[in-house]
Amino acid sequence: MASKSDSQDDLDDPSSSSARPSKKSSLVVPPNLSDQEALFYKTAAKFTLGIREGQLESEIPEIPVVKIVEIINSLSKKGFLEILFIGNTKAFRIVKYEEAGKIASMEMETMMVYKQIKAAGNEGIWTKVLKHKTNLHQQVITRCLKALELKQMIKAIKNVKYPTRKMYMLYELSPSVEVTGGAWYTDQELDTEFIENVAKACYKFIYSRSFPRGQPDAVFAASYSGLPTATQIRRFILDSKISSIDLSLDDIIALLDVLIYDGKIEKRMPVFGGATGADPDWSDDEAVGDAEWRYKANRERKAGREESEPWTEVPCGRCPVFKFCTADGPINPSSCVYYQKWLEF
Amino acid sequence: MAFTQRLCREIIKDHFGPIVERSSRISPSFAHNSFLQKVANVLLNKGRLPCGAIALFAKLTQKQVRECLVVLIQHNIAYYAEIAERSRIVVYYEVSEEEILLRIRLGAILRYSGEWFGKEGALVAQHILRNELVLFTKAFTNMVRERFLVAVQAQDSISAKDRAINAEAAELEKLLMPPTAKELKNIRKLRDDRADAEYHSSVVIGMKRKLAESVGNQAKRHAPEVLEEVEEEFYFRINNDRYNIRFRNEVIVNYAVDRINRSAGIVTKTMLDHGEEKMRRTKEDKSPAVTAVQISQLIPATINLETDIVLESAEFTANSLPSKQQLVHEYLELLQTDSAGFLRKEDERGAGLYVVAFDKLRDHLKRKVLDSVVREKYGSASCRLMKILSEKGKLDEKQVRAIIVVMVGMSYFTTIVVRMALATRFVISLICVQKLALLPAKETRERLATLGTQGYLELQEVPKAADRAPSRTFYLWHVPLNQCYATLLVDLYRTLGNIRQRKRDEISARSRLLDKAQRQDVIENQALLSEEEQEHLRLLNETIAKLDVGELRIDGLITILRDI
């Protein structure tokens, strides 16, 4: 979903906050800048999300405030600086030299389209939204997109949520999890077979750790600390080469949640103290393991005792016309074919 | 409702109908059992009526109706109420659906009476159910003492509601002025408390105590032995509540065995047995408390608990086996930490004071029944969807964010609606469900729609704009759990009705053969039946057995949904 956000920042690196300077190694300062312009450019480059209006004075004390407006104007005219709005405050972000060259050679419309696509980041932007935002004619947009695609500056992507939408993003970015759907999607489709296989493997692994081996009716005590955590389960899945894709911890947790919803396993808070002290090498297995949820398999149904559900054993529980069945209607228990079949020996 | 009534009619037909008339001795003096059916049907369909109206609807004379009512009241199925209308008193009669539905369990009651109190117990139950004279045997006394049988009192034939209304009226009459709201509330509370106290009193009505004759010196040291005897002027009936408690306890113990293991079942059973005397209703929240020490003392020494638990603690090595008390403690811990929530720890007293958490177990077991029905009927993915929908209490951040993002651009009013929905945590949008369930969007939509049409899900619409256009509306799903249980229960009643109807048809289709088989000379000499007839008879018996088993198992589900 291409939601409108008032700041046009592409969140290349969401962990870094805009208020803090970030360290970027190779910075090419464009030639033919004045000393003060170059200084401004270098300082602003430290902020990936742009330098705020209020930060200017403290960050660049060398330049007097009156001069700053001039510098900003000249930089932005040359295409080396863009002005953003973060909330109500203005922020200034540099445009890299090589990029500025590319953009400078573009037409006005193409530039607008490019900037919008860039702003959408790794989420991509729908052509319809693009049209709405740039306010350009459809034909113009199509032309621009074609030109940009030819230059390998943007690429078309497919969104799993909206497979019919034509979406674009910058060529060098890789689509976000939202767009691709994550590890569980293959060719924009949920790979149910793959999910099932991995889920089965997870369940088997958890089951083997939940009950003592060799004793059919035995259980572990409540203080048992051998229940696997999601990290352990992930390692097992990766080690056993069940999945060719690198599944993240979140992916595994999502899968375990599904198993919980299916009633096959359950989550347990880890046990602290007590018997855990008796087994010293369990905790250095992983440093974060102590606070993680542990997973326990539920006992499989015992054969013979409950081989079928009570209601569905009787034909009525599975009857497709149950709602129409009445004591003396056209469909009735006396002449019911399902009963006939059931009662045949 | 219609289906519950139909089942009631089937039960009445079965217990008081023509088949019974022919083959058993229930109320031999009462020749026209089909009249009884008519009366019961009228009361089931029309509700509370005076005698004259019943006669009118059933097309019987008032005398016949009165005879039928006597039988119904005697079997505790019908209630009466005397109501003053102007200067005269009108007597209204009604039948209780709940009581009729409880009659499904008569077979189980007979069987378990035999199991718990020996052959004599089964006989006692059978005689009581037939309203015959009972010899006061030892089993009978035991059953009365343990409240499996209760004395019938005059007010038992008046429905509980009427009793409450009467009690209230009696209190109000004492007042000189019309009561204030507060006084009325007090009176009602007092009335309910009194009824409750009466129900929970430890005195068994219909029992008298007498001192046993002292035997030598022993009597001096011990407290004088008290012999309890049944008072002969009382009439007794089966106490369904008491039997249901036993059934409930058995369900819980079996579940503990299924979920953990045999020994956990034994520990649970010991706890339940210990507190059983104090349990009066199945709707209690918890069992009487027991300390861990008491439990380990109550478990007989012959039972070996340690074979099926693996303790990893260093304290228990091969040379120092864990004590019984430690083992019991481990099992209590297991039962307590289990997500079904078998036990709750009340206090630390006596190595821990434990109760069986009926309230939590009740929810868990009901949920399990619902889940298994949905899984069997609509597949495990549908069951998963329902679980996700109902576990809204665990809405994680991503979903909240998803919903909050959508909230931008909504009207103020709509925002409030969504906020409320989030606060109550009952609704969830399709996108969230699909994401959590790891199912394709299309399948999710189809499955949700199916569940919705079957009444397992409900849809909450949240319009974005004032025009309420479907394209600008959020559709949020939620699971109305109590409604699901109610629907399921009615479906089960309906199924029972079907089974009974089918059974009746199977029997009546071979009624001639049955008549022959039950003739005195045929019973004495089986050779009088041809080979074909014997084959048919065998087939009929098998069919009936199969239907009966189905009925019993469904009754098990009903126990969980209704009586636990």
- pTM beyond 0.80: the answer is no
Based on the fold, state whether residues B407 and B431 are members of the same structural domain.
yes
Instruction: Provide the number of structural domains found in chain B.
Output: 4
Q: Look at residue B3 and tell me whether its pLDDT is greater than 70.
A: yes
Based on the fold, state whether residues B366 and B349 are members of the same structural domain.
no
Based on the fold, state whether residues B392 and B333 are members of the same structural domain.
no
- Residues of B (169-208) whose Cβ lies below 8 Å from A: none
More confident residue, B219 or A124: A124
Lowest mean pLDDT among A26-30, A114-118, B264-268: A26-30
Q: What whole-number distance in Å separates Cα of residue B416 and Cα of residue B12?
A: 53
| Span A16-63, pLDDT tens digits | 444 444 444 567 777 778 888 888 888 888 887 778 877 877 887 778
> SS3 for B380-404, per residue?
HHHHHHHHHHHCHHHCCHHHHHHHH
Give me the pLDDT at residue B421, please. Answer: 55
| Span B120-177, pLDDT tens digits | 888 888 888 876 555 566 777 778 878 888 877 777 778 888 888 888 888 888 887 8
| Span A193-223, pLDDT tens digits | 888 888 888 998 998 888 887 777 777 877 7
Could you tell me if residue B188 is inside a domain?
no
Could you tell me if residue B556 is inside a domain?
yes
DSSP secondary structure code for residue A99 in this structure: H
Q: Look at residue B220 and tell me whether its pLDDT is greater than 80.
A: no
Which DSSP helix (H) or strand (E) runs through B309? strand B309-310
Give chain A positions within 8 Å (CB) of B408: 3
Could you tell me if residue B345 is inside a domain?
yes
Structure tokens at A132: 């709405």
Distance from CA of A231 to the nearest CA of B (A): 19
Among residues B536, B534, B471, which one has the least CA distance to residue B510?
B536
Q: Look at residue B417 and tell me whether its pLDDT is greater than 70.
A: no
**Residue A288 C-beta-side C-alpha neighbours within 13 Å:** 6
Quick one: CA dihedral B347, B348, B353, B354, positive or negative? positive
Please report how the helices B160-174 and B181-200 are oriented relative to each other, as an axis angle in degrees rounded to 10. Answer: 130
Give me the pLDDT at residue B395, please. Answer: 41
- CB contact under 8 Å between A313 and B550, yes or no, is yes
Contacts 24+ apart (CB under 8 A), A282-288: A282/A225, A282/A226, A285/A232, A286/A229, A286/A231, A286/A232, A288/A231
CATH of region A4-95? 1.10.10.10
Structure tokens at B87: 């200067």
- CB contact under 8 Å between B261 and A217, yes or no, is yes
Give chain B positions within 8 Å (CB) of A334: 501-502, 505
More confident residue, A313 or B358: B358
Give me the pLDDT at residue A302, please. Answer: 54
Could you tell me if residue B22 is inside a domain?
yes
Block residue for tokens 């576990």: B391
Task: Report the share of chain B in percent with pLDDT over 70.
Answer: 80
Give me the pLDDT at residue A306, please. Answer: 53
Give me the pLDDT at residue B493, please. Answer: 92
Q: Which residues contact A226 (CB under 8 A, 6 or more apart)?
A: A209, A220, A282, B312
Lowest mean pLDDT among A181-185, B69-73, B103-107, B342-346: A181-185
Residues B11-28, mean pLDDT to the nearest whole number: 60
Q: Look at residue B345 and tell me whether its pLDDT is greater than 60.
A: yes
* Average pLDDT score, chain B: 78
Give me the pLDDT at residue B135, please. Answer: 58
Based on the fold, state whether residues B457 and B528 are members of the same structural domain.
no
Q: Look at residue A304 and tell me whether its pLDDT is greater than 80.
A: no
Based on the fold, state whether residues B378 and B468 are members of the same structural domain.
yes
Q: Look at residue B105 and tell me whether its pLDDT is greater than 70.
A: yes
Among B324, B356, B388, the domain boundary falls at B356
Among B447, B479, B511, the domain boundary falls at B479
Among partner residues A217, A222, A261, which is closest to B337 by beta-carbon distance? A222
Domain boundaries, chain A: 4-95, 106-180, 185-300, 308-345
Residues A144-151, mean pLDDT to the nearest whole number: 88
Give me the pLDDT at residue B422, please. Answer: 53
Could you tell me if residue B211 is inside a domain?
no
Nearest residue in B to A299, CA atom: B259
Q: Encode A242-266: b = buried (16+ Cβ within 10 Å), e = exposed.
A: bbeeebeeebbbbbbbbbbbbbbbb
Distance from CA of A22 to the nearest CA of B (A): 28
Interface size between A and B, measured as CB pairs under 8 A? 161
| Span B419-441, pLDDT tens digits | 555 554 444 555 566 667 777 77
Q: Which residues contact B472 (CB under 8 A, 6 or more apart)?
A: B463, B464, B465
In the chain, the amino acid numbered A29 is V
Q: What whole-number distance in Å separates Cα of residue A22 and Cα of residue A45?
A: 8
Provide the residue range defining the domain that includes B430: 362-479
Based on the fold, state whether residues B367 and B401 are members of the same structural domain.
yes
The answer, yes or no, to whether ipTM is higher than 0.85 is no
Residues forming a β-bridge with A85: A90
How many of the other CB atoms lie within 10 Å of CB of B259? 20
Among B417, B447, B479, the domain boundary falls at B479
Based on the fold, state whether residues B307 and B377 are members of the same structural domain.
no
- Span A185-300 CATH architecture: Orthogonal Bundle (1.10)
Q: What is the CATH number of the domain that holds B66?
A: 1.10.10.10
Q: Which residues contact B71 (CB under 8 A, 6 or more apart)?
A: B16, B27, B30, B36
Q: Look at residue A226 and tell me whether its pLDDT is greater than 50.
A: yes
Based on the fold, state whether residues B251 and B304 are members of the same structural domain.
yes
Give me the pLDDT at residue A271, please. Answer: 56
In the chain, the amino acid numbered A185 is Y
Q: Please report, for residues A214, B418, B421, B457, the alpha-carbon distance to residue B473 in angstroms, rounded to integers and kept in the order given.
A: 56, 12, 15, 18
Structure tokens at B406: 């959508």
More confident residue, A288 or A55: A55
Could you tell me if residue B306 is inside a domain?
yes
CATH of region A106-180? 1.10.10.10
